[in-house]
Structure 1
């Protein structure tokens, strides 16, 4: 049986999308971000996203095939892989399955958020959350798409060795998903990866403050004050 993100495939050279990096890392986790702008509508991207069997590399499956891959895009839905075998008559039968991720948030044409520890991380005590966001460009000439994968928890790998490997393989799936669409000639602005994890790219940029404040909330500042008593 092959493992998703199988180590032998981690060193394969792949082309990078318009923006790709391990955006943040600590001793206990990391954040991988991939962003590109293509000539397609958000609805076309959404449809493609929900057919992982058409773009996921079979080298990063558990069964050695992506024929049984599917995403049920509703809360508590599954990004799963069916293990299928042909019987003596050539009919495919499902003989097992594995969950890659579980759907937390699904807003067609805008956001798909799933949670799951991909590949070798599945055997570790970590949580991984993948947010896929998409929005039309300002000139409506294309769609800006992002993958943001946040991983945290205890694992027997070091972040320094596993984060670049996961980033590379996740980037390969991102690139494969967008292959049917031509790149859009759009200059990418500076990206705040955290905003991409909140809602859609456009909504987050419009609604969220321009900077994440590091100041302590008022409640913290007054933590030493005596409690207020209710009037009798």
Structure 2
């Protein structure tokens, strides 16, 4: 069993290591212990909360970085924004499937809470609560906070991985913010 966990640990470092080179706006590791952590990343976009919400739940396949999926460009992501809904990925021919997280709380235009472990954390038996929190920004637009608290038993010290996980979360939130900042894309989609 130690070999399996060790392989997963090496996989985390290899799969997420490239993210260290990328930055994210408003990233913060709130707390960290050997068996858990809390991180927050935030972005502000010049879009109203309804447009941000539509992009968040309706267009996840268009903004979530494909290099942070199980099957890359061959995969399709979706979020079913209802309690018990799935943040799911369907691969290549439809036979490969992953339930990334389960939706546990929905307040449209304000909060989406998902439960589970993303990526390698799931395989390590770790779980958490992730929230996308939307609020009015001071100078207009919408402030998006991506909050993730995760933990559980691991023979490895999770604090070693938290900076990498924080960077990856920043990339994921950055994907949403970049999508919303593209001229016309999210706004056009909001009116479909």
TM-score, normalised relative to structure 2:
0.81
Q: How far apart are residue 84 of structure 1 and its match?
A: 2.5
Aligned to 1:96: 96
CA contact (8 A) 1:57 1:66 kept: no
TM-score, normalised relative to structure 1:
0.68
Rounded to whole Å, the distance in 2 between the matches of 1:8 and 1:151 is 19
Aligned to 1:136: 136
Give the match's secondary structure for 1:100: strand
Rounded to whole Å, the distance in 1 between the matches of 2:15 and 2:91 is 21
Aligned to 1:170: 169
Task: Name which of 48, 58, 71 aligns with 2:66.
Answer: 58
CA contact (8 A) 2:13 2:161 kept: no
Aligned to 2:154: 155
Q: How far apart are residue 98 of structure 1 and its match?
A: 0.7
In the TM superposition, structure 1's runs of 4+ consecutive aligned residues that sit over 6 Å from their partners are 3-6
Segments of structure 1 that go 5 or more residues without pairing to the other structure are 86-93, 183-232
Structure with the larger helix share: 2
Task: Name which of 54, 61, 66 aligns with 1:47.
Answer: 54
Give the match's secondary structure for 1:95: coil
State which structure, 1 or 2, has the greater radius of gyration over its C-alpha atoms. 1
Rounded to whole Å, the distance in 2 between the matches of 1:100 and 1:66 is 16
Aligned to 1:20: 27
Rounded to whole Å, the distance in 1 between the matches of 2:80 and 2:12 is 22
CA contact (8 A) 1:101 1:115 kept: yes
Give the match's secondary structure for 1:179: helix
Greater mean deviation of Cα atoms: 73-82 or 48-57: 48-57
Taking only aligned residues, the RMSD between alpha carbons, in angstroms, comes to 2.0
Rounded to whole Å, the distance in 1 between the matches of 2:74 and 2:137 is 32
Count residues with an aligned counterpart. 170
Task: Name which of 85, 89, 93 aligns with 1:77.
Answer: 85
Aligned to 1:125: 125
Greater mean deviation of Cα atoms: 4-13 or 111-120: 4-13
Rounded to whole Å, the distance in 2 between the matches of 1:6 and 1:78 is 27
Segments of structure 2 that go 5 or more residues without pairing to the other structure are 1-7, 182-192
CA contact (8 A) 2:102 2:115 kept: yes
Q: How far apart are residue 55 of structure 1 and its match?
A: 1.4
Give the match's secondary structure for 1:11: helix
